[in-house]
Amino acid sequence: MSAPKIIKEHPISMSELKTEIDKIKKRDKELGFRTNRTEEYIHQFIKEDTSKLVESLKKLNISRLKDEQVIKIVDLLPRSVEDLKVVLHGYTVTVTKDNMKKIVDEVNKFLK
């Protein structure tokens, strides 16, 4: 059995994961158990492509916000500052209220 080697590691959104699973499905014709379960879960929650939202959040240039946090925001789509605080609570990051308001405005703009 081969041992895969990790070359590069970066976070992806659930929308991007859905695309990758579709590519694997075309390539392999049959998915494994975990991939099937993941696909079922993603199809329940993901309705649209969120890549534009990822780009717009990165363009805000919030210095303390890393890719990992941006992806988590995109996956959960907080609609208020309070919801955003809950999302970011698990990370050791401090974001100003003004920047939080900008993030929530971008998310709400995307949802409309």
Q: What is the distance in angstroms between the CA of the first residue and the CA of the last residue of the chain?
A: 49
Question: How much is the mean pLDDT over the chain?
Answer: 91
The model's pLDDT over 13-38, given as tens digits with 9 standing for 90+, comes to 999 999 999 999 999 888 889 999 99
Token reading at 13: 């959104």
pLDDT class for 4, splitting at 50, 70, 90? confident
The count of structural domains within the chain is 2
Token reading at 70: 């941006």
Say whether both 41 and 22 belong to one domain.
yes
The model carries a pTM of 0.83
1 has pLDDT over 70? no
Say whether both 69 and 32 belong to one domain.
no
pLDDT class for 45, splitting at 50, 70, 90? confident
The span from the CA of 30 to the CA of 17, in Å, is: 17
Say whether both 64 and 90 belong to one domain.
yes
Q: What is the pLDDT of residue 54?
A: 92
Say whether both 66 and 80 belong to one domain.
yes
Provide the domain limits for residue 30: 14-45
